[in-house]
Structure 1
Amino acid sequence: MEQQGRSLLINHVKIVLEDRIVEGSILVRDGIIAQIIEDSEQPEADHIVDGQGKWLLPGFIDVHVHGGFGGDFMDATAESYDTITKFHASQGTTGMLATTVTASQEAIETVFQATSEYMKNDMPYTALLGVHLEGPFLSIKWIGAQNPAFLSPPRLDWLQDWTERYPGILKLLTLAPENEGAIEAIKWLADHNVVVACGHTDATYEVMKEAADAGLTHAVHTYNAMRPLHHREPGTVGAVLTDDRIYAELIADGHHVSPGAIKLLASSKPADKLILITDAISAAGRPDGLYDLGGLPVIVQDGVARLQEGNLAGSSLTMINAFRYMLEHTDYNVMDISRYASGNTAKQLGMFEHTGSIAIGKQADLVLAEPDFSSVSHTWVNGKQVYEAK
């Protein structure tokens, strides 16, 4: 594996930049992109990877992912986190948030503890960037695949405790803005540099506007588990579509959202406000069968995860498959989709200065994808190779 402190040349690739696609090479030194070469020049390097005409993209950043390959972030062990990050590295993800489910205060605390410890060490695969707390401050009406036994109104005392004990770990929090105390929580979280999202919510259009005024800037798995659009009451979806302050997540797997609804969302949002996510559970990368999500049994059939009652329960999606789905089923091009999978997410997390696009001086968080985007050939995090297809 290529280590930091050495140079890496990735040549013969189609490089997806912020404003254009070029054919050439990239030179990486000490984990940082040092040169973008648009001609046949081949500078010396300690390690050379022949890209064979494949696509070189900024690494994918997934802010909504529960697990993969049998591991779940609620397991709260380094072994499980290695399993999850190793699998998603093979799918082109270079950064991710450990996403919880609605659970007890104690179970959530173990995720904060495990994530904090994991991030202190040398992460061998995809980099954990922090925690996405999805629940327990959600709506019973739009519970989806969350466990109703652990629902709670927003608890500022819990949030204050977690942010004091695990500073910088909570990056994103999903809540139902209509719940009592939610607006106060949104203001507090926004003041403490936590991205606040609506999700699993019955919020009206008016409540969503109030929440956005308070500092809410994100919507999880848009369309799913939220009050739908109606022409006389635009609902949560209507607010997400029309309020340019709100970033909108999208699960592009063909099951959660139809191509027509994707087109409506993408055409409604500014180009920098759409974010691809997987919402992947432990079943991602594994065969059909019975799985667990927050203590609830999940049946995966033909790759689709559902509770026994029929509710969709996360997904088995990967970022490279979401990328390919967008390319095949929408009118958006490789540069557009790259922004949705990398750049926009980095901007929302306040990381765009050093990751999320291919540019000189940025971290070499890179993915080499096959010409048809069917799979990933190599993944690098901060210049370190964390995956190579065999």
Structure 2
Amino acid sequence: MTTLFQQVQIVLENRIIQGNVLVQDGIITHISADGEAAVPAHAGWTVVDGQGGWLLPGFIDIHVHGGFGADFMDADAGSYDAITRFHSSHGTTGMLATTVTASKEAIEQVLAAAHSYCSGNMPYAALLGVHLEGPFISEKWPGAQNPAFIAEPNLEWLQQWISAYPGLIRMLTLAPEKKGALELISWLNEHGIAAAAGHTDANYEEIARAADAGLTHAVHTFNAMRGLHHREPGTAGAVLTDDRIYAEIIADGEHVHPAAVRLLASSKPADKLILITDAISAAGMPDGEYELGGLPVTLKDGAARLSGSGNLAGSSLTMMGAFRFMLDHTELTVPDVSRLASGNPAKRLGLFHTTGSIAAGKRADLVLADTNFEVLGTWVGGSRVYERDGQRE
């Protein structure tokens, strides 16, 4: 199958060109700027007229719990279809199925379901693996995680899981200050699993020791972690200043003030900041009552909160929504924000050689948006998985 994208603003790694992109058998084979020798369309090709809109590399969401009424904890292929279909309509082409702090049995059900789903024909955004958020987190910072299932770091569980599902677990969020955490972090690092700090009361020195042991990531920076103080920089201060650590950010205006988003963006190296959604089942749904990890959640005016405590409970954010927020509230350029949504998460997962940017030889994971960054179409491996009504070919 061959697809030719014409009249698009192509977002490359460090610049934007107006031109055309040719995709053959799921691979980007040719990129030409207007004024250069373009590939003429042939009979039988699909021609997509971008009408001056944006062609972006597909978004990769490494921290997402659900969407459109479904949760990855459902451990059900139908739910996984609903989640990946919804997020593909907002530009996501790959994601990590993210768990919550739950029982060992419930986590194992997700691993089994995700392994089965990844092994089949994924019709929408691709599952790229699993992100275990918990259960080895701090009792002091549960956020919207269920405190009943918080556990001490358990290497035996991880050994069982990677033996049963090799390569499936890509990231694990834990509190690095807990007993046994440093040993687990070192083991994760040795086995190619990203160790992430989150839901943690670790001080600055504890995060530094964890980074020495192999910690390389921080989830939803500023949220559910010890904050920044000028005499004790805390978890947040360590994440801001340690260039070994990737930092996630939920850019929705609810979780983090725009000024703090700008502070993080100016503090981290350009390749160490990553946009995520932390979206839950309520994403894409009307205001009402939902659930996260067995806890009741109320969605009102787009903000999801635990019905009892009022703690923020994930989000209803989409990756394109986060993309627009960064353009509106920071000085970052379109290529800059594209790296946060696509290139950097691809690098985080070791996939940048195949996806995460628009380049000849890479898989055609692409998003076409209009000039206002509203998604018109999404392609995974060259196959169209979302088309907005009225989009012309």
TM bin, normalised by shorter chain, reads over 0.9
2:77 is matched with 78
1:91 is matched with 90
Q: Secondary structure at the match of 1:53?
A: strand
- Residues of 2 paired with 1:185 and 1:245: CA distance? 18
Structure 1 residue 43: deviation in Å?
2.3
**Structure 1: gaps (5+ residues):** 1-5
> Is the contact between residue 14 and residue 336 of structure 2 (CA under 8 Å) also seen in structure 1?
no
- Residues of 1 paired with 2:255 and 2:359: CA distance? 33
> Is the contact between residue 252 and residue 322 of structure 2 (CA under 8 Å) also seen in structure 1?
yes
Structure 1 residue 37: deviation in Å?
1.1
In the TM superposition, 1:17-32 aligns within 5 A as 17-32=12-27
- Residues of 1 paired with 2:18 and 2:95: CA distance? 29
Q: Secondary structure at the match of 2:269?
A: coil
Instruction: Pick which of 126-135 and 325-334 moved more.
Output: 325-334
In the TM superposition, 1:1-390 aligns within 5 A as 6-39=1-34, 41-45=38-42, 46-308=45-307, 309-373=309-373, 375-390=374-389
The RMSD of aligned alpha carbons is 0.7
Structure 1 length as normaliser, TM-score?
Answer: 0.98
Q: Deviations over 1:223-266 (max 9, x none)?
A: 00000001111100010000000000000000001111011101
For 2:160, the aligned partner's letter is D
- Residues of 1 paired with 2:285 and 2:180: CA distance? 40
- Residues of 2 paired with 1:269 and 1:237: CA distance? 12
Structure 1 residue 372: deviation in Å?
1.0
Q: Secondary structure at the match of 2:215?
A: coil
Instruction: Pick which of 326-335 and 109-118 moved more.
Output: 326-335
For 1:318, the aligned partner's letter is T
- Residues of 2 paired with 1:198 and 1:117: CA distance? 28
Q: Secondary structure at the match of 1:34?
A: strand
For 2:49, the aligned partner's letter is D
- Residues of 2 paired with 1:76 and 1:29: CA distance? 34
Q: Secondary structure at the match of 2:100?
A: coil
Number of matched pairs: 384
Q: Secondary structure at the match of 1:217?
A: strand
Structure 1 residue 42: deviation in Å?
4.1
1:3 is matched with none
User: Percent identity over the alignment?
Assistant: 67
Structure 2 length as normaliser, TM-score?
Answer: 0.97
Structure 1 residue 214: deviation in Å?
0.6
For 1:336, the aligned partner's letter is D
**Structure 2: gaps (5+ residues):** none
Query: Which runs of 4 or more aligned residues in structure 1 lie more than 6 Å from their structure 2 counterparts after TM superposition?
Result: none
